[in-house]
Structure 1
């Protein structure tokens, strides 16, 4: 699969028609071995591609993503397809009547929405191996997890099935699968991409994001959807990059630590000001995440959970159950603590961009909850969540960037402390070019 900028050029030049591109994509999805494909709208996609091919023959374009095939995480409504959220509870869900706004934006930009992709059940997990349809599988090693909860969107891009996918990110769910599958992910601030028409996990944090092969592709997609200018690589002003230090940010896998060092050294070589950055209180801040998310998730699922608990996947039920009898003041206290600590940490950071690992582990075998590391036995879920969740708690934009390493993929996060999406993506593209 061509990276999105090259694909768009091929479609615009007539070298490739939307119909031929869609035929290629459907053949790839039919041959999928990752479990990332949940449902396809073949008839709708073919009709759309045919119409766009005819339009192109007249020298017209429907938008900046004219003819580009896109897949959508199965917590996001796509008209004509059911939203099942990876759960048996929604086996009988009717087709969605309307597109979620982000899907409507894709269509308005000229994209062809081909279907729904795997999600960790109800998006409640950073691993990607818990769903009614079974686990998603990492294209780099089919015995290993993809990360979650945007498991299918990451795997479909990494496998070369699709150039662009839509995911959601509540505490990790775009960035962790991006890191484990070796692709790029963009978690903007909440609301940059509209969240309506998305099944909720935690209303305080749910964020719509995108996954693609690289930051250049994310830049083009962001511009196509939001109308923001897609400037070339380069910084409008000198950026100060802080490398997150302290025990919280130390990966259990030394290869991930190497990836952070490689990016820091690359930035220094590009003339960027790079220094160490401490993050006081980040552990206490992160501790509020499971309290708030658990309470909000349970509020959504309370009725189902009390009447249909056996239909949940066991791992999901185990995560929901402890929140059934938690007093309301615990949730309120956690929200107040989050706001206080997030404000304090944001004010403390003396950098424009924070550089840190995306995860503490690379992809682990499917079904494994705990692994042995040089640091001792480690819980997988926490290792795939704790370095990402602070930035949902702070509502900061993040670009997750793959870094070339031996063996399984690894990734880093570029977090916008004062820098916005354009600056983050520009910096990511500079890093990509320097690492090639």
Structure 2
């Protein structure tokens, strides 16, 4: 289905909940964990954007009461003491089922253990309040294909959130809660962050454990975090990554790579000016621009769908044989497309990846970070397979993946930060070449300051 891309709808009256401001209010005694969690539960219970899969209200309220009593005694479990957190329903939370957005797992038993990333948040004092919407089995970048129906963008409920961490991005963007966990195999934290107007961090591959996370493609899967702003995302990363942030790295002298090949250009004409504005802001702060060419990029990214498709089919082959009708039709079709593919296809794709990632690394060897658009399109109408932009049809799914998936293949850390654009949100992506997660967050923070 092709639709003309309508004019942006003015954002709804929503205000995201700042993680750092909420922490300060709790620490100062102006807000108790019980009050904070009660507000979050009320908002999630009344959510109009289909972000919530399971609301763990009774346990969350009881835990918040305990955190309130501890705070009154001066006992602080960690930097997230009393903070409400949502978890993508691909990640195990003890006592709750992990349904992965699918009827295939309609009757799955509750998880017996927290995934390690959830356990780290709890150890820092967080209160898990809900499991949040995901595209079925995380297989897709739109967020509108799931057993529970589409998640809806808080800026325009007729549009997609992006996926697959759809509920995590939308719940944060709607101001329901200050922090959420997501996963990212090809774009699934950064794309919904960009389309919903929040910050989304994909750490380096292997930086966070994926135990207790239902896989899409194990050789590409990452766990990430979404928050309203960079400071909140950086705090979440410090907790999840297990170390305090390094001193902020200065922007003066930063070598910013600008990708000049046609491949990296957005389709929506509203996006590119904000990427240019981000580069100019960093230059004004003392950075210098280094043009980068990536002649290997088309061949490299062609390996991505072959790796994901083959690994995902291997995971789901039995369920596809036994209960195919429980899959969403679009996801079933994509998975079955890999049913009879020869093994050499997957092996060759992984060999291509191993051969070309070093070539990509060599092409960007002279830069510290890359700055580019997060997506080629802004949020599109729910259900639209393609949209018309400047008189030409643009396929939605590739446009949401194309600028993200290369950095799952490389495993480099990347963060999407919202530009102060009018109308529908636009994300700018910062990719770490010689900067780690804290480093890309420092650059994102510099952009936030410049854009205030």
TM-score by length of 2: 0.95
1:383 aligns to what?
Answer: 399
User: Cα offset for 1:405?
Assistant: 1.0
Say which is worse superposed, 219-228 or 289-298, in terms of deviation: 219-228
Q: Deviations over 1:318-367 (max 9, x none)?
A: 11111000000010000000111111111121211011111000000000
What is the alpha-carbon distance in structure 1 between the residues aligned to residue 360 and residue 425 of structure 2?
30
**Greater Cα shift, 17-26 or 185-194:** 185-194
CA distance in 1, matches of 2:332, 2:161: 21
The answer to whether the 8 A contact 1:233-1:430 is kept is no
Per-residue CA distance 1:234-275 (angstroms, 9 max, x = gap)? 428732111111111111111110110110111111111123
Deviation of 1:307 after TM superposition, in Å, equals 1.8
Question: Aligned-pair distance for 1:2?
Answer: 3.5
Task: Say which SS state the counterpart of residue 270 (structure 2) adopts.
Answer: helix
**Partner residue of 1:337 out of 338, 343, 352:** 352
Matched residue, 2:138: 123
Q: Say whether residues 1:93 and 2:96 are aligned partners.
A: no
Question: Is the contact between residue 4 and residue 163 of structure 1 (CA under 8 Å) also seen in structure 2?
Answer: yes
Shift of 1:233: 4.6
Q: Secondary structure at 2:321's aligned position in 1? A: helix
Partner of 1:286: 301
Which residue pairs with 1:70 in the alignment?
Answer: 85
**Alignment partner of 1:357 is 2:359:** no
Out of 403, 406, 418, the position equivalent to 2:419 is: 403
| Counterpart position of 2:387 | 371
C-alpha contact (below 8 Å) 1:190/1:206 kept by paired residues: yes
Please give the residue correspondences for 1:196-211 in structure 2 after superposition, counting only pairs within 5 Å: 196-211=211-226
Offset, 1:283:
1.2
Q: Deviations over 1:104-136 (max 9, x none)?
A: 001000000001000000000000000000000
Unpaired runs of at least 5, structure 2? 1-15
Question: What's 1:320 paired with?
Answer: 335
Partner of 1:323, secondary structure, is coil
Displacement of 1:309 after TM fit? 1.1
- CA-to-aligned-CA distance 1:77-120 (integer Å, 9 cap, x gap): 00111000000111101111110110000100000000100000
Kept in 2, the 8 Å contact 1:191–1:207? The answer is yes
User: What are the within-5 Å matches in structure 2 for residues 128-143 of structure 1?
Assistant: 128-143=143-158
Q: Distance in 2 between matches of 1:380 and 1:255?
A: 16
Tell me how far 1:227 sits from its aligned partner: 3.2
Instruction: Describe the shift of the 1:299–1:354 C-alpha distance in structure 2 as closer, same or farther (beyond 3 A).
Output: same
- Please, which of 158, 161, 167 is the counterpart of residue 173 of structure 2? 158
Shift of 1:191: 2.3
Return the offset for 1:226.
Answer: 2.4
* Partner Cα distance (2:251, 2:379) in 1: 36
Match of residue 144 from structure 1: 159
CA–CA separation in structure 2 for the residues paired with 1:226 and 1:390? 23
Does 1:392 pair with 2:440?
no
Q: Who is 2:285 aligned against?
A: 270
For 1:273 and 1:56, how far apart are their aligned partners in 2? 47
Counterparts of 2:159 and 2:80 in 1: how far apart (Å)?
Answer: 32
- Equivalent residue number for residue 428 of structure 1: 444
Indicate conservation of the 8 Å contact 1:202/1:297, yes or no: yes
CA distance in 1, matches of 2:377, 2:21: 32
Hey, what's the Cα distance between the residues in 2 that align with 1:400 and 1:110? 26
Counterpart Cα distance in 2 of 1:60 and 1:433: 34
SS in 2 for 1:254: coil
Structure 1 range deviating more: 243-252 or 125-134: 243-252
- Partner SS state of residue 396, structure 1: coil
Q: Deviations over 1:288-332 (max 9, x none)?
A: 000000000000000011121111101101111110000000100
Counterpart position of 1:220: 235
TM-score (norm: length of structure 1): 0.98
Instruction: State how far apart, in whole Å, the 1-side matches of 2:290 and 2:220 are.
Output: 29
